[in-house]
Amino acid sequence: MATSKPAQTSGTPFVNEVRLNARQWTAVLTILVAVTLLTPPLWKKAEQFETGADYRIPYSLSKDYWLYERRLQQVAATNIIVLGDSVVWGEYVRLNGTLSHFLNEQAGQPGKFMNAGVNGLFPLALEGLVRYYGTPLNHRKVILHCNVLWMTSPKADLSTTKEERFNHVDLVPQFAPRIPCYKADLNQRLGAIVERHFIFSQWATHLQSTYFGQKSLVSWTLEEDGNDPPLHPNVYKNPFEQITLNVPSEPADDPERGSSSPRHKPWSTTGEGSTRFEWVELNRSLQWAAFQRLVKLLQLRGNDVLILLGPFNEHIMAEENHPAFRRTRDGIRAWLMKNQVTCLVPEPLPSQLYADASHPLTEGYQLLANRIHTDALFQRWMNGR
């Protein structure tokens, strides 16, 4: 039986490809570089970013470090920056219940003290935030809060060898000094380092945080609605409609914060201390070492720094914990004095004005601001003496 042969084609075979010459490649690279360099600054001009006297970075945008730096760029030369973790940010209170709000009230100058706290921070992350995103702070007066909570256990100190999940992993040192409980792979560590130095990548993260619920475009598109079987409500949505060019502000009525919130209550109705901390010695603490590096970094950048040490909730501690706490507090104060850093150590607040081990309630912040503002050392620092 005869077999048929495939038909022969004549001429040059069709190849679906485009080959660029050197001139065309130069044009492509020029366009890419222009887009990469110009998009972030042009975006700042197009996107609405409304702030006020008591503004703080919203909880949902805590990891938007590009936005944080943009906020710092709004600081006037006469502003005093209040820098720290959720104690400065105000975990249990609203915008008008934070430390910076009541300092402004005491000074009679709305907006004088700027809330530069970020929820979920700790010294190892705060050091990275200031180092890579805090250059607008240079040569300014800074109140830096020192929270000894981060030395109350090896877990809080991040010095435990057991793997732990924690906030702001992209800000901590990725290789040195080594963090024993941080087990990220090489790809994640290198990605964090690249983003710190690549503004376009920071801007892309800003888009994800602000408009796509901190998700990549693919993850947002495939997000499930929680039903069984699950549906994917975003599959047919136009992602460009999510980009409103308006940075969302904090909810006006946040059920998680403020005097009407069920969380806004004293830590104990009895005021009896029962918590036992495993204090980490200062010479072995990763968090304290990071705080020391941060203080020196601010000094090198020309900042006039005042350290606010406390107020830690001493009422919550079991009696046998007090000697270790005082040793930690006194060691911190001694190092600051040795390095000629102004340090303010206010007395503990009344027990009922704490929500937990370190966060005051609204009335606690008000009392703390009053004590700070009337302190002679603070007044001398404020007036440059």
Band of residue 7 on the pLDDT scale cut at 50, 70, 90: low
Beta bridge partners of 344: 308
Q: What CATH number should be reported for the domain whose range is 34-174+248-382?
A: 3.40.50.1110
Distance, CA of 64 to CA of 171 (rounded, Å): 11
Give the model confidence (pLDDT) of 69-97 as tens digits. Answer: 999 999 898 999 999 999 999 999 999 99
Beta bridge partners of 317: 275
How confident is the prediction for the chain on average, in pLDDT?
92
- Please give the order of strands across the beta sheet that includes 141-146: 113-115, 80-83, 141-146, 304-309, 342-344
CA 164 to chain CA mean position, Å: 18
Give the model confidence (pLDDT) of 145-203 as tens digits. Answer: 999 999 999 999 999 999 999 999 999 999 999 999 999 999 999 999 999 999 999 99
pTM for the full predicted model:
0.91
Cis peptide before 229 (omega within 30 of 0): yes
- Strands (E) in 198-334, as ranges, are 304-309
Residue with tokens 């907006």: 111
Q: What is the DSSP letter of 350?
A: P
CB 385 within 8 A of CB 378: no
| Burial group, residue 56, by CB count within 10 angstroms (0-12, 13-18, 19+) | buried
The CA-based dihedral angle spanning residues 180, 182, 183, 184, taken in that order and rounded to the nearest 10 degrees: -150
pLDDT of residue 270: 66
Give the model confidence (pLDDT) of 287-340 as tens digits. Answer: 999 999 999 999 999 999 999 998 999 999 999 999 999 999 999 999 999 999
CB 47 within 8 A of CB 246: yes
Q: Please, what sign has the CA dihedral across residues 189, 191, 194, 196? A: negative
Entry field: residues in the chain: 385
